[in-house]
Structure 1
């Protein structure tokens, strides 16, 4: 800001000094400059300049330059509105009113506020918004308008949670169980899918820990708490969940189980005889009485005394003989003989039967002069067995119809070692028996016990979706089968996919940089990976398919070093590292998601283009994590400020310009996958062939192999295979008749001379 004063003509001997004021107070440490120069014989002009390097909120106010001649000139610092209060993230109960605050200031005034709910106008010119109640999770923000322009506040997400359950009662109470029932609270647009029941001992601080804590699927809203002690007081509470999160717990409700019998009978029973009286004494039973003691029951009996007398001589008929044990021995012998005969018959039958794949066939025997073969089937077989198994999963009819054509007999699949495992499932190696061959496959399973029915449907819907794909750069589906999990008692779905020799692209890139034998992947190879992904995504977008989770970890590398786009929706369940939970929303890979998807959770093909740009950056940096140093929770603000991923050190300008175009703020300005594929193919054609041997180094990814040529795969450029020569005492290079170079990896034993190591190689002498 500038201030000037002209004077002279004998009015003052010396020109006056200038002092700057803000809101009437002198600026002591301000950055000011004052210049004086003559404008005539007795005239002069003073110019004073106040400089503010970076305008901050404390600099707001009215500024004046003050001359000691009592001449004042004023100006004001003004601009776009600034916010002192912005909407905050919060959780509310469905259909319960709430208040939101948003405050903005000038200058210049006045400032007009407009409330936005999910991007649409909600209220105008109010600082506090009273919302009558929400039934769905919404995002609120404000726009502040003055004559300088418009400023937008940060967004606050209001998550709608279900109301507290009501009417918790005990339908039936026994000695060891409580049959509970309750009414779930209102959840808005999100149905109540599950409730949690907790129980503990009431009024007993020693045993105050939870003795029962279990999730219950709805409906019905009831649960049986078992394993309780008789005549004991328990406290029970219930809380329910929707897809947005949990409700508040109900207050503790107390219930007492019914009485039971004492743990033990009375002890120390003694008898004292006193003439014609008997005095009976005992001690109270040990252990818990499990009720209130009402009394004791006493039972007694008179013993029968037998006296043996000599019979008097009598000539009359004798009395009948007493019971004889000889008959009892006869009965036992007959019973034993029958049992032995039955066992012999069973043994002979087992010798004569023959096990078949479908049951038991007995050897031929003669019946009515004809040979008869008896056969007993192991179980009933029907042509509708697959449909019945799918029916047992409880999935929709539409999904069953889509899966009917891809079902595979479980007996044709053999599972091997586990390739990768996560919280919700795993990927295993397997062998699929076909009509004339055995195919090595990858088998994707899910832990059915901890997954909901909707998650299982999503798992199978992914398989049904892959059934329609047929492209060299898109993972194809080989089949789906159902295996019975004996512990859980119901079938678990299994998805069969082609086996990818080199695993996922992200791990491959990381290993090339950080493995035991690092390998430099040439730029041509990296651009080829990008081109393969672009081809696959172009095919998917032509099918109107939105991936929503494109990243290097979700791209697979086959034995021909071709990239296939994979994991259409299941990756966040299997691999959990790069996913972040925003509030109570499900986990999202925020560093790969477009800025508009982070704000509104709306996905389009152009949001996949954004993710493709991040994937290109991953490939160009050979597996580095995007936005290093930026936390997941800070990504949205970081992008909103205009920041983007920086150009990798050895990335071509044309490739970075292409990936940067994927991150344009407006989705309609981003290129299509067809354009991206064409530009990448053109860039790949324009790149020179990698002739310089110092540029290319390969590593043997199979650590189990220690000798030259042990890996049967091909190198990225079509050579004989990426190799690592181990067992040498220093890092050096060996020139061979091959267009590539090989890395010699040292071992800890440095006593072995290099010549001995070279002699151990299975190579011609002229090439060693």
Structure 2
């Protein structure tokens, strides 16, 4: 055993000092004690290795020093040294050197460098938070060398006691206000001063800040907030108070929430209700003040119950219905309509919509023995159906009540007798005439009871005086062009106004096709006080142009209709166009920047808008069409978020904010007109290119008015000096270069639309479609199944769309559509998501008395929405600075 131990020891010494092949450490580093700031040098020598790679180690880590020197002491005998010119405390430690040979590492003996100097702290005093007059301890520790080290405390600028050996703990019996403190460490070399700490007195926290709604549904809302000043004490609980406002204030039980995180979901709320909430947070001292009240409205839901007490009065001429109104808590939304469904002979019939909780329907005899149910509808959908009520004459009702006392065969016989009597009466009065027209006729595929529609009493009888193109004083050529696109007025049901001006308006409408389907359209209508055949022909010429357009980025004509006016010689022409779901591009851009809910438009989307417009204009120029009025306000966004060039004449008269008038001639959009057009009234495709460049500038500035600060009367002088629109902020140089070339003073030097399409396509390819948005683009689905927006500016059914959602753009909606609160007649937006949720036949929406309002005030089938914001539109208007332009 002794021999084995001796062999192991010899082997270890060999590995330390030699590698068994003549390699030997002939010099080892030695322990050294130096004063701080002095130089120190360590030496190490090895023999038996050719050009060895000697490495210095400190506390187990390699040293990479530029001061290392190698000396040759003889053949295969090398010496190296490591020096530190100014030793500091961090240089103290254990050092040795290592050499590698044949894959093995050999180490020299180890040596210590001890640095003498002023003390250095291994524990400095930390800030303290305490209650007034409560005692606490402060700690401080420092080391040399040289030792010993004494610690002296300073509290509020006053020395506390005498020196104490390190480490030191100072007991403070208590303070009543914030105070500073530090410690001094002293040895033979000098004095070191610690960091300055602060004693904080714990106080109540400040009110939470940033309370907001993160997510909201009809029953739940998720809140988030941030704590204010925490009072030098950790916050572990926050208290949430909720109040529901419904005629009177209802305080709900407050909730305690463990924090962090500072987020909580309130559950069990009521649909379509006003709520207010606030938050207070609690630390060791107590609760903070409450945050300001945050108000929100929960989204609508379908009604929770069916209408009650459905009753009727039946006569041969009419059926009167009445039922109880739903309470607000039962309705769970804003009532859009009551839907009535009825069956006759086991067959479901056409569903009807009513605004009030009562209705009178002509042709009551048809409802004999019919089963009727009623449901209430909000924009989200309809609630449950009421129990079915069987419609019978008064005498028959009494018989039915008495029949409950009979059973079996007697009940069946009584019912059969009643049915037979009804059939006999029906046969005898089959051809009876009433003052409302024929109440009965032979069975056929079409319904025979007439209800009040938006424009006519009968759905079967065409207007006896349907207007035709022959009633207009227009050229035969124009008449022939429009003959095959003429739409009978009875197939159109006008809705709310989308835009209007001094010469006419654009209205939303429903177009009924030959196969009884309906289509949502937009209708341009001249004002009723315009009697000039020239204005009529001007409007129809625009329609004739559009008839031949077939391009995805150019708006296409659906048809032309003529509205007959009593005692007027000329009917009013109406141009029927596709309904552009997202409105005009200028409004879209403005509201992305200035709306109540601004949203981000990535550069890829903006370039796509430019590309769509250039493709549409390339198509028009190939048809030798000069637009003369290209601007963002005259470009429309369809349901796929594609831009369509629109307004080829009438728009100059509808949207008048950017135009100028000389006498009675048309106003001109001078800030979009090319230099040569302002000077010589010359319009070419190249002048349209100029306007396209200005439109690009509008897109990049998100709807700003061109030439800010330049009066309209100064535009020509501004341009003739060579001035042009400045590069928008955050606009890439290559995009500005494209638009700047469009403003060349020489028309032929401007790019063609074909060249612009190629340049923009190339630019669009360089923008990666997979690049994520900086922030997601928020579109609020106001017309889907998630309900209408809340009236406080909140939104319901929000969806986050990134570039990957481009293929699904047909589901996009816009966040600025709102419904007005004060338009009593315009109560149902026909064709909207809300109306689709209700279902039913929209031709027969009737009032409580089944009547038509005064002329021009249709009771049903008119939509409504809030003004898109006069403040937004006014920013793009410059109406007061009109100047005269020779035309």
TMscore range, shorter length: 0.3 to 0.5
Q: Which TM-score applies when normalising by structure 1?
A: 0.44
Q: Which TM-score applies when normalising by structure 2?
A: 0.38
Q: Which has the higher contact order (CA 8 A, sep 6+)?
A: 2
